């Protein structure tokens, strides 16, 4: 096992907060104790934000053509976009979208070819990034398709809460039509396998939320629980999965019932992400469960209103880096255990922690 993880980092939307949270994070030399970072960007954008953030006295980067040229204690800059670009913090632009896609595509190519160990994606603008190759409602679907993965789940992770989603970036009016027994069982299985393989939990306990208020009140205000969700839970339980529900989301989070479970499966985006971000917004991580590779991202968007001001909180991005490294090590341990026929993982008896050291993460 290498002493440091080579972590690929995309630029995201360069008019959002992505580039500045990357630079502010790796201006702290302590970050290099764990990581060899590779940022997919270009010199113009890098220098623009380096000057904007008054980091001109920190010669902490190196331009590379290949990850073989990486320097351990530098932010390695791999060029992914050669053209001149107009940088306008806080404003969406098609050129910024093209840059974001180029960064993502180049990073994925390196990940496919084992030139980097893990991937951390910066926030994108879902409108400006769209093109003939990227017709998705987010990076998750694109990345899953690039690795021919059909069964995956968007998951939000912190030290106190894990939430998986059945549906992701879809209109609320369409959620009921999308829900099927097959889809819910698939997401339960993805979540269960992820908790075992990536979190080292021998027998995960999963809670499933209902769709309707009061989980439908026995069909009075919705029948999805009776006809779809509860039968899915029963079938998953028959497969040997410790899954429970359905729970009404308001009472479930209001009474801290989530603390009794290893993860929660929500039916739609806001049902899971509103309580998650209320509880863990500053340190939450977006993780794609079920992929053969490791991909994380901060749990926030481009935050155009904060872009270029140097005030965006870097905590979630820092957590995303440390969490990617933690899962990378866990997967190596899994492989070693299978090869050596060991019966348990060290993490099974530990309280879960993303592993971010106690260092300042708010300031510049």
Query: 260-315, pLDDT tens digit by residue?
Result: 999 999 999 999 999 999 998 778 899 999 999 999 999 899 999 999 999 999 99
Annotated domain spans of the chain: 1-149+287-364, 160-282
- Distance CA(191)–CA(193), nearest Å, equals 6
pLDDT tens column, 68-93: 999 998 999 999 888 889 999 999 99
pLDDT, averaged across the chain: 90
Quote the pLDDT of residue 257. 93
Q: Is the pLDDT of residue 361 over 60?
A: no
Q: What is the DSSP string of 296-319?
A: EEESS---GGGTTTT-S--HHHHH
**Is 44 or 345 the better-scoring residue by pLDDT?**
44
* Structure tokens belonging to residue 357: 């050291």
What is the pLDDT confidence band of residue 9, given thresholds at 50, 70 and 90? very high
The residue length of the chain stands at 364
- Distance CA(168)–CA(302), nearest Å, equals 18
pTM of this structure: 0.89
CATH 3.40.718.10 fits 160-282, yes or no: yes
Q: Is the pLDDT of residue 32 over 80?
A: yes
Closest CA to 106 of 72, 82, 130, 70: 82
Sheet holding 285-289, edge to edge: 61-64, 75-79, 35-41, 5-10, 118-120, 295-298, 285-289, 153-157, 162-165, 263-266, 205-209, 242-247
Assign a CATH topology to domain 1-149+287-364: Isopropylmalate Dehydrogenase (3.40.718)
Quote the pLDDT of residue 1. 47
Distance of CA 204 to the CA centre of its chain: 20
What is the pLDDT confidence band of residue 362, given thresholds at 50, 70 and 90? very low
Q: What are the residues whose beta carbons fall under 8 Å from the beta carbon of 324, sequence distance 6 or more?
A: 5, 7, 118, 119, 120, 294, 295, 296
């Amino acid at each position: 096992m290498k002493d440091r993880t080579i972590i690929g980092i995309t630029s995201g939307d360069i008019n959002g907060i992505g580039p500045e949270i990357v630079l502010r994070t790796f201006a702290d030399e302590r970050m290099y104790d764990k990581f060899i970072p590779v940022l997919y960007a270009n010199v113009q954008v890098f220098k623009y934000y380096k000057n904007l953030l008054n980091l001109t006295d920190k010669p902490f980067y190196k331009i590379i053509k290949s990850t073989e040229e990486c320097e351990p204690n530098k932010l390695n800059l791999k060029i992914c976009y050669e053209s001149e670009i107009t940088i306008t913090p806080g404003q969406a632009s098609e050129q910024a979208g093209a840059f974001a896609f180029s960064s993502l595509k180049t990073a994925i190519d390196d990940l496919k070819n084992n030139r980097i160990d893990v991937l951390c994606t910066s926030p994108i603008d879902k409108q400006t990034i769209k093109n003939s190759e990227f017709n998705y409602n987010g990076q998750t679907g694109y990345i899953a398709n690039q690795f021919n993965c059909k069964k995956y789940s968007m998951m939000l992770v912190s030290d106190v809460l894990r939430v998986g989603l059945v549906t992701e970036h879809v209109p609320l009016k369409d959620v009921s039509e999308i829900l099927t027994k097959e889809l819910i069982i698939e997401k339960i299985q993805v979540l269960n396998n992820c908790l075992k393989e990536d979190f080292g939990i021998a027998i995960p306990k999963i809670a499933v939320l209902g769709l309707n208020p009061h989980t439908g009140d026995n069909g009075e205000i919705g029948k999805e629980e009776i006809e779809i969700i509860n039968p899915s839970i029963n079938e998953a339980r028959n497969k040997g999965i410790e899954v429970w529900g359905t729970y009404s989301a308001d009472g479930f989070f209001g009474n801290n019932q989530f603390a009794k479970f290893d993860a929660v499966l929500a039916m739609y985006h806001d049902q899971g992400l509103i309580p998650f971000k209320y509880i863990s917004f500053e340190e939450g991580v977006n993780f794609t469960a079920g992929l053969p590779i490791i991909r994380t991202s901060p749990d926030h968007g481009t935050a155009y209103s904060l872009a270029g001001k140097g005030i965006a909180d870097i905590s979630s991005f820092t957590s995303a880096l440390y969490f990617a490294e933690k899962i990378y090590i866990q997967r190596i341990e899994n492989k070693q255990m299978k090869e050596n026929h060991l019966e348990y993982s060290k993490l099974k008896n530990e309280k879960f922690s993303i592993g971010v050291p106690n260092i300042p993460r708010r300031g510049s």
